[in-house]
Amino acid sequence: MNVELTEEQTLLQSTSRQFLDQALSLDALRHRSENDLALSRDFWSRAAALGWTSMFVPDDLNDPQSDAPVRDLAIIAEEAGRSLESGSLLECNVVAYALVNTGTTEVKAQLLPGLSDGSITASWAFAEGVDGWSVSDVRSRATVDGDDYVLNAQKSTVVAATSADYFLVTAFVDDELAQFLVPRDAPGVAITRLDALDLSRDFGDVSFHDVRVKKAWRLGSPGESADNDVERQWLLTITLQCAQMAGMLDRVFNLTIDYAQDRYAFGRPIASYQALKHRLADHKVWLEAALGLSTGLTEAFASGDPGVAELACVAKAHVGDRSVEIISDCAQIFGGISMTWEHDLHLYLRRATVDRVLYGSPTQLRERLCQLVGL
């Protein structure tokens, strides 16, 4: 594991941070209305110009544009988390990863250039029944009909559902797990926006009723179950999510440290009271663990470490629970002001509370970890 960044990675980190600081404002999140919840196309095309969407995408010579796509993306994700990035860095890249690895030539030619330049966005429609984040929860089905598949699926909690141009849909064809790319405007696709605690992203349920999908738009090879592909996608998702959450947690923690040193009570900074110092010290321990796990998971995913599945459960269970616990305690340290609409803290707490359960909750992942170790 390499905690220290290379020169190139340091540059990537600083340009990402500069871009986010300049392009996004937390205050804007408070004033978003339903109309502009959809991804800001302008923001996303500028992000794409920085390479955020093309890490996995091969260049003209058929090499991925990054030597270390997952490591680079994790660096960006950490920065994106700090800024409550409102695009769909994670979702677009997970779909790009699936497409590059398992897409047909036809679909790659149609979608990769657009995904890469930011003109097309996409999201993975996986969960079923609010919190069904595992393959065993998948009830969606597709059947062959002539040159098409006919897809019937009920997908929940899809990130960026109201803005994504394409959905990557996981469903069964007979006993075979399969994946399809479906445009949002295909006949039979219905999107219901969800009211969510998180103000920084939008969510929706997406239903697919007798949606016709051309055979070429199925990913992977017919006759082969996509379990392994889905597993890798999920691991990539958790890897980037943990990086985002750890970055966000680091940001909130540092804001709280600054505040506690500036705020005086009874003639001294509140940060001089041992009751607070000791809590902040505990938070620092679990924050460093979160950042360390995020780095470790990134390395494990990138290097194909067989322990990556267990580590993903460990990382998300830790980062998920501790983020909410620590950010909530930061609210306690900020005091009454943190309860106000104008203060930023609730924006972080909202996002952390949703991320905690999104793509798998700590409770689900502790159970999955027990299964993985054979209990």
Partner 1 sequence: MTSATVQETDVEDLESFIARARAWALENLPLAVDNAQARADADDHVNQVAKARRMQRLIFEGGFAGLRYPKEYGGQGLTREHQLAWREVTADRDIGCLSQFKVTHGIMGPTLLDFGTEEQKQHHIPAMLRGDELWVQFLSEPSAGSDLASLLTRAQREGDVYVLNGSKIWSTFAHVSDYAFVLSRTNLDVPKHSGLSMLILPIHSKGVTLRTIQLSTGSAEFCEEFFDDVMIPVVDIVGQENDGWNVVMRLFFHERNMVGGNSLNDQDAAGVGESAVSTEEELLALAHSVGNSKDSHTRQLIGEALVLDRLADHTIQRVNALMKSGALPGPGASIVKLMRSLSKYRFKEIALEVGGAHVVFGGPADEVGGHGHRWLVARVGTIAGGSSEMQRNAISERVLGLPRDPSPDTKLPFRDVLSQRKR
Residue 346 or 368: the one with the smaller Cβ distance to partner 1 is 368
> Looking at this protein, which amino acid is placed at residue 7?
E
Task: Compute the least distance from the CB of residue 316 to partner 1, in Å.
Answer: 10
Please name which of 323, 324, 301, 325 lies closest in space to residue 311, comparing C-alpha atoms: 301
Q: Which residue of 29, 291, 309, 331 would you call a contact of partner 1, by CB under 8 A?
A: 291
CA distances from 266 to 157, 263, 272, 329 (A): 47, 10, 11, 21
Task: Compute the least distance from the CB of residue 269 to partner 1, in Å.
Answer: 6
Integer Cα distance of 257 and 105 in angstroms: 52
Q: Which residue of 134, 152, 361, 363 would you call a contact of partner 1, by CB under 8 A?
A: 363
Task: Compute the least distance from the CB of residue 334 to partner 1, in Å.
Answer: 16
The two tokens of residue 21 are: 């600081």
Where does residue 89 rank: exposed (0-12), middle (13-18), buried (19+ CB within 10 A)? buried
Residue 5 or 339: the one with the smaller Cβ distance to partner 1 is 5
Q: Which residue of 1, 11, 130, 339 would you call a contact of partner 1, by CB under 8 A?
A: 1
Residues 6+ apart with CB under 8 A from 63: none
- Region binding partner 1 by CB under 8 A among candidate stretches 56-64, 153-161, 225-233, 307-315: 307-315
Q: Which residue of 177, 248, 260, 326 would you call a contact of partner 1, by CB under 8 A?
A: 260
Q: Which residue of 295, 323, 338, 353 would you call a contact of partner 1, by CB under 8 A?
A: 295
Residues 6+ apart with CB under 8 A from 82: 17, 20, 247, 248, 250, 251
Residue 271 or 302: the one with the smaller Cβ distance to partner 1 is 271
Task: Compute the least distance from the CB of residue 287 to partner 1, in Å.
Answer: 9
Integer Cα distance of 318 and 365 in angstroms: 10
**CA 63, chain centre distance (Å):** 25
Report the site for partner 1 in 142-181 (rule: CB under 8 A): none
Q: Which helix (H) or strand (E) holds 288?
A: helix 274-303
Residue 268 in contact with partner 1, rule: CB under 8 A:
yes
Which chain residues interact with partner 1 by CB under 8 A? 1-4, 257, 260-261, 268-269, 271-272, 274, 277-278, 280-282, 284-286, 288-289, 291-293, 295-296, 310-311, 313-315, 317-318, 363, 365-367, 369-370, 373-375
